[in-house]
Chains A and B, each alone.
Chain A
């Protein structure tokens, strides 16, 4: 995609929109992916609280899963899980 020229970008380095980093998928960094055993999960949300990449999906106070678009596979979620229901598995790239 052609990048915009100086006449077409805001002045002063301003980024006019919030949260545009969402367009940048960091999931490709991952070598291990977190996998959850929902049967064991107690929805304590420790994984959500400690995720550096805001990649734990929470809905109605329940752990819903991982956002693999951005998850870098650090494994903190698995490490902090008190019931050990998250496992890190080698990520198979498509």
Chain B
């Protein structure tokens, strides 16, 4: 058993020493405790103003959101570390807790293929995958986006082979960054739960109609237990609304053709439409998030800034590493260092304006990438942020750290080293090494 879950270090709810009851919640045999609005432990009989907090892993959080969404069809294939999502959801199906028709496909390629067949038929459709599974479904990942099908897919980030490795890095979903899917990266299991719900609404928005990947860090988030605030079923149901596709494949009275051969004279126009959908997404997602925030009392945004206002140096990171970094920021702030952190929640569409604005006031920025692009110019998050900054009148010096490949832990000491390097860059006014490898043995 791992002693520490770096991504779990900044969980205000889980810091509470709650009165823990073992109970049975929607099929979870787990730990169940309730907190009042001040996040203080309380007895469960006090119904008013209590949040429904349940101890769940990231995988369980994803499947719990799926239970509440109650999609018409789920087609999925198990792969570590996503397996628990498929297992949990199958249990919901077999216990009659959802009305979903589940397709236990024989591969991820067929999972996404069946999702395409289902989504064009007007069914709200979901799947989930990881790493090699995502790689196997690659061909159809593009087809789902290009056919403009609002499929939602939790992705439990895991390193791609070879050598085979079951632990976290972002090489799987980062490879799919140009597939036309919206990508959300989650800091913790609470965000996984919330983002899966958000994803349905985003994907099905008339101005968007694109599939969404909801990414969480394999094992770190997917298998770490957190206290998750679960919203009431009816509230979730009301928020996501009904899925209504205008032209469905199974409308036999109005026959349509999906997936034609599209040659030189129209293919480009269809791609142009896809670009437009992603442009619409960057302006429409904040509206969906505002509605989510109003409904559930949250504060989701395209990005999250952490103590960045007066910061001089900053880190940009995705997913669970953000939690670790927040702790380090707090520590360094106590020492008087003006450090901050930027967490893009959405990577597709790329929130360029927000990112460049958030970083404009900084002297030096380090971008942490949990995947390699092998371009020799840094990881995917870095190159995109660097490109975005090119058009900024005020832009910081930037450097890149590739870290955590194949599940290599990132420690507060590693993050501190990055901030120390940034201090040097700030002082010297230049970047020594553009692409650095953090936590690898020489």
| A and B in direct contact, judged by CB atoms within 8 A | yes
Question: B258, A3: Cβ atoms under 8 Å?
Answer: no
Question: B260, A13: Cβ atoms under 8 Å?
Answer: yes
Q: Is the interface of B mostly helix, strand, loop or mixed?
A: loop
Question: A6, B273: Cβ atoms under 8 Å?
Answer: yes
Question: A11, B269: Cβ atoms under 8 Å?
Answer: no
CB nearest to A4 among chain B residues: B269
Task: Give every chain A residue within 8 A of B272 (Cβ-Cβ).
Answer: 6
Whole-angstrom CA separation of A52 from B61 in the bound complex: 54
* Contact (A11, B257) CB under 8 Å given A6-B270, A6-B272, A6-B273: no
Question: A15, B260: Cβ atoms under 8 Å?
Answer: yes
Whole-angstrom CA separation of A10 from B247 in the bound complex: 10
Q: Which of B214-271 contact A (CB under 8 A)?
A: 247, 255-260, 262, 265-266, 268-270
Residues of A in contact (CB 8 Å), total: 14
* Contact (A15, B276) CB under 8 Å given A5-B269, A6-B269, A9-B266: no
* Contact (A13, B258) CB under 8 Å given A3-B266, A5-B269, A6-B272: yes
Q: Is A39 interfacial (CB-CB < 8 Å)?
A: no
Task: Report the tally of A-B residue pairs with Cβ distances under 8 A.
Answer: 50
Whole-angstrom CA separation of A45 from B247 in the bound complex: 37
* Contact (A11, B260) CB under 8 Å given A5-B269, A6-B276: no
Question: B269, A12: Cβ atoms under 8 Å?
Answer: no
- Partner of B257 from the list A3, A6, A15 (CB cut-off 8 Å) is A15
Q: Which of B264-303 contact A (CB under 8 A)?
A: 265-266, 268-270, 272-273, 276-277
Whole-angstrom CA separation of A92 from B276 in the bound complex: 50
Residues of B in contact (CB 8 Å), total: 22
Whole-angstrom CA separation of A71 from B18 in the bound complex: 79
Q: Is B102 interfacial (CB-CB < 8 Å)?
A: no
Question: B266, A18: Cβ atoms under 8 Å?
Answer: no
Query: Which of B145-153, B154-162, B331-339 makes up part of the contact surface?
Result: B145-153
Question: A18, B257: Cβ atoms under 8 Å?
Answer: yes
* Contact (A13, B209) CB under 8 Å given A5-B269, A6-B272, A6-B273: no
CB nearest to B249 among chain A residues: A14
Whole-angstrom CA separation of A47 from B378 in the bound complex: 66
Q: Is A16 interfacial (CB-CB < 8 Å)?
A: yes
B121 to chain A, nearest CB (A): 13
* Contact (A13, B146) CB under 8 Å given A3-B266, A6-B269, A6-B272: yes
Task: Give every chain A residue within 8 A of B260 (Cβ-Cβ).
Answer: 13, 15
Whole-angstrom CA separation of A4 from B266 in the bound complex: 9
* Contact (A16, B276) CB under 8 Å given A11-B148, A11-B270: no
Whole-angstrom CA separation of A91 from B112 in the bound complex: 49
Question: A12, B256: Cβ atoms under 8 Å?
Answer: no
* Contact (A13, B270) CB under 8 Å given A6-B276, A18-B255, A18-B257: yes
Whole-angstrom CA separation of A11 from B277 in the bound complex: 10
A33 to chain B, nearest CB (A): 28
| Residues of chain A having any CB pair with chain B under 8 Å | 3-6, 9-18
Given A4-B269, A13-B270, A18-B256, 12 new contacts (CB under 8 A): A3-B266, A5-B269, A6-B272, A10-B247, A11-B270, A12-B149, A12-B209, A13-B146, A13-B258, A14-B257, A15-B257, A15-B260
| Residues of chain B having any CB pair with chain A under 8 Å | 146-149, 209, 247, 255-260, 262, 265-266, 268-270, 272-273, 276-277
A and B contact pairs by CB, cutoff 8 A, 16 listed: A6-B270, A6-B272, A6-B273, A9-B269, A9-B270, A11-B277, A12-B148, A12-B149, A12-B270, A13-B258, A13-B259, A13-B260, A13-B270, A16-B256, A17-B256, A18-B255
